[in-house]
Amino acid sequence: MEKFQRNERIAILIKMLSDSPCKIFTLGDFTEMFGSAKSTISEDIDIIQNLVAKFDLGMIKTISGASGGVTYIPSVSREKTVGILESLCGELSRKERILPGGFLYMLDIIYDPQKVSDIGRIFAGRFYSKNVDYIVTMETRGIPLAFITAKYLNVPLIIVRHSNEATDGASVNTSYVSGSSKKIQTMVLSLKALRRNSRLLFIDDFMKGGGTAKGIIELAREFGCEVVGIGVLIETAQPAKKLVDNYFSLLVLNGVDEDKGIIDIKPGSCLV
């Protein structure tokens, strides 16, 4: 078997771990691949662990025991999180983003691969310990945020729709009251989409009253599942009392003054 130098092993290990975040690799996987002793691979992992921590690239976690191994957890330090959120606030505060009716244009943020990647890493670092089985979101604007979070947590993405399609098969429908419009809307999810007793993480782009999040919680109960976390990009300051508790927001929109061209948006509960 070809012998690999340490720098070669480290390069390959970093590539494999970063390409499959939250996947547990056993030391046996690597010893067989490189033809090296477990002690040698352990030394390589220690070097990678220090490098990842030094450059704030996430976290390398080692798991002891017969079923243990090593895994890469995408995460962001508090200092880096502050920089990311302040940058987002700066971009979202531009008066050109104000739409008629006092709405805020944010699609370019949601569909920017680098910005979405940063946001997904923040969510992944926050919710990794929840041991979620699925990421859930509503169609359509929350999909990019939910998708990248699902990638970083290495779990499937479930998209709840407002209407069913023939390809869904039998579905569960539930009604909920939108916290923003106060209108009754419908959520639909195929019976084949979720395993019972699963742990769900709901990710969305925007929260005003929390009606959508509450609807997701109620829909999850219909499947015998539990929503163990809620992450949103932006929440509005008002109403202060949402329909759900224990959610995690990156930014808080205090208000939009359409006449003066002022958007008041600040980092949210993630820095508390």
Q: Judge if 82 and 69 occupy the same domain.
A: no
Q: Judge if 241 and 194 occupy the same domain.
A: yes
This prediction's pTM: 0.93
Is residue 246 classed exposed, middle or buried when 0-12, 13-18 and 19+ CB atoms within 10 A define those classes? Answer: exposed
Q: Judge if 117 and 132 occupy the same domain.
A: yes
pLDDT of 113 reads 97
**CA–CA separation, 132 and 247 (whole Å):** 15
Q: Encoding tokens for residue 142?
A: 């929350």
Q: What is the pLDDT of residues 116-158, one digit of tens each?
A: 999 999 999 999 999 999 999 999 899 999 999 999 999 999 9
Q: Judge if 99 and 68 occupy the same domain.
A: no
Contact 123, 159 (CB under 8 A): no
CATH of the domain at 32: 1.10.10.10
Q: Judge if 54 and 83 occupy the same domain.
A: no
**CA–CA separation, 1 and 29 (whole Å):** 15
Q: Which H/E stretch holds residue 46?
A: helix 38-54
Parts of the chain with a pLDDT under 70:
1, 66-67, 179-181, 269, 272
Q: Judge if 45 and 178 occupy the same domain.
A: no
Q: Judge if 204 and 117 occupy the same domain.
A: yes
Contact 80, 125 (CB under 8 A): no
Of 23, 55, 73, which residue is a domain's last?
73
Instruction: Note whether residue 1 is domain-resident.
Output: no
Q: Judge if 113 and 157 occupy the same domain.
A: yes
Of 73, 93, 112, which residue is a domain's last?
73
- Split into its structural domains, the chain has a count of 2
Contact 271, 82 (CB under 8 A): yes
DSSP state of 210: S
Q: Which amino acid is at 138?
A: M
Of 55, 73, 91, which residue is a domain's last?
73
Structural domain containing residue 170 = 78-271
- Angle between helices 113-127 and 78-92 in degrees, nearest 10: 140
Instruction: Note whether residue 49 is domain-resident.
Output: yes
Q: Judge if 57 and 184 occupy the same domain.
A: no
Q: Is 139 helix (H, G, I), strand (E, B) or coil?
A: coil
**CA–CA separation, 203 and 215 (whole Å):** 13
pLDDT of 1 reads 61
Q: Judge if 40 and 130 occupy the same domain.
A: no
Q: What is the pLDDT of residues 244-254, one digit of tens each?
A: 999 999 999 99
pLDDT of 67 reads 63
Q: Judge if 127 and 245 occupy the same domain.
A: yes
pLDDT of 165 reads 82
